[in-house]
A and B are shown apart, each in its own frame.
Chain A
Amino acid sequence: MDEWNDQADQGGQDGPVETVIEVRNLTKRFGSKLVLDNVSLAIEKGKTTVIIGPSGCGKTVLIKHFIALQRPSAGEVYFRDQRIDRLSEHDLDDIRTHFGYLFQEGALFDSLSVAENIMFPIRQHHRDVTRKAMEEVVKAKLAMVGLDGFQNYFPANLSGGQRKRVALARAVALNPEVILYDEPTTGLDPIRSDIINELVLKLEGDLNVTSVVVTHDMKSAYKVGDRIIMLHNGRIIADGDADQIRSHPHPTVQQFIHGQVSEDDLAVLRMSGVVAQSQFLPRDFEK
């Protein structure tokens, strides 16, 4: 395993770069379950970093630490050289305005319209902005995600893809420096997924934001990622650009990027196949 970790440490470290977010020796436990195991990672400014890995490997938990929505069991988290994992919620309020967070299911406020959802962060942090000015911002942000005209809709009346695009418009309402995307394409059809990918690229180009994308959609990872990191069992097992990941020697990385089932999983399936092959008939229950 050390062989692969050595490679992981070497990837994406070509020269001195400006770091926006850094985690050092981050460990996170939920009860007795170890979710993140001594993870160290630096996110470079202006780049799109993609974190891949199987479901439940700790990707979402990791990016929630970037914005202190989760606190580490051990280790440190820095935003622009300021340690944030020990700050109070009150002190974090200002720091969090530098971030936009696209939640997996959008997390739009059900009771507010699309326009009010996007106005929410502006209202909270810019009390002197007029209603008209806010409406203009909402219009611009919705136009950016291709949903101008949906201002008066409620989240319940939107499709999954539309909800994610509105959530993205809300995440960028304060023009953040860093955008964290949690599974932005999950549950969307291929065309809607590609629209989201294009939006990620557009935001990187137009607003020069630093992006961190959590996904297990490899097509999306290759398309938007300047750097790809793979998490497995709470540890980083691969770190590099798309080409380095494609040719990475770690068997788990190859299985994941090609979507292949492992021999262990196959063995389990074969065992359950015994039950699956047995078609229960009424006579089986007669006795």
Chain B
Amino acid sequence: MIATLGAKAIQDMINAGRLGRFAWRAITTSARSCARRQTFPLVWTQMNIIGVRSVPVVMITGAFVGMTLAVQAYDQLAGMGLEEHLGVLINISVVKELGPVLAAVMLAGRVGGALTAELGTMNVTEQIDAIRSMGTDPIRYLVAPRLLACLMLTPVLIIYADLMGVVGGALVSFLQLGINSRAYWNFSAYGVELWDVSIGVIKGFFFGGAIALISCYKGFTCKEGAHGVGQACTDAFVASFISILALDFALAVTFKSIYLTFWPLKSLVG
């Protein structure tokens, strides 16, 4: 029992080390690829696949998050006579937390799954070996464009999700719950700062990187056969999901510390 647990722990450490090495190679190669003109068309293609085609699903996710928040929070605020503050609650939750996290989870499923399946299939059909055999680095050709596209477009997609979350929440508040729109927006403007929106967008950068690295790694290391590819896709989604939640927590703590450190200085600048 102890031996089994020990062996499993050692194997997990080895896998974590491999993922770390893969991530380091992918990041350094991607940084160098930014200066290569040959990379641009590959990144452009991936931006279309990863970003443009994800817009509808991310917008729908954002809209429902905002609408649901409005319905759920109204009763509690109305009980205290604070229903006109509903906009603050919805919008700050959407832009700071729920919009980025749920949009990233949606991307982990839609984009991450597709990346792992595509690269996993290339791996088991020896297409990745074929790239290597022709003297081309598969990390540069396959991973760098996907990583760069995810890093650039996940924050943009989160802005779309935020926008639709704000619109969805407002529409339900005005049309279904009958809240005064002027008061709704006034309280929202007072309670939600640029800092809150920025946190959500910056989180998207990290979430996008995690989704791309984990999905590409799982594709590159997937086992033979249809079962191997399927298992790799499942593993990639689970690992991406957990990473998104862990990163969200770590970034929340970090940004709060930064905010508390620099908040007193704001009055001096303003």
Contacts and interface: CB of A to CB of B under 8 A. Distances in A.
Nearest to B126: A107
Interface residues of B, number: 15
A93 B137 contact: yes
A107 B134 CA distance: 12
Contact of B133 (A67, A90, A94, A109): A67
Counting chain A residues whose Cβ lies within 8 A of the other chain, the interface size class is 20 to 34
Nearest to A111: B118
A69 B133 contact: yes
B234 to A, nearest CB: 22
Nearest to A67: B133
A28 to B, nearest CB: 16
A155 B41 CA distance: 22
A271 to B, nearest CB: 29
B127 A124 contact: no
B125 A97 contact: no
Interface in A5-38: none
A103 B127 CA distance: 9
Interface in B96-142: 121-122, 125-127, 129-130, 132-137, 141
Contact of A101 (B133, B136, B137, B141): B133
A90 B137 contact: yes
Nearest to A99: B133
Interface of A: 64, 67, 69, 89-90, 92-97, 99, 101, 103-105, 107-110, 120-121, 123-125, 127, 174
Interface of B: 38, 121-122, 125-127, 129-130, 132-137, 141
19 contacts: A69-B129, A93-B135, A94-B135, A95-B135, A96-B135, A97-B134, A97-B135, A101-B130, A101-B133, A103-B130, A104-B126, A105-B125, A105-B126, A109-B122, A121-B135, A123-B38, A124-B134, A124-B135, A174-B134
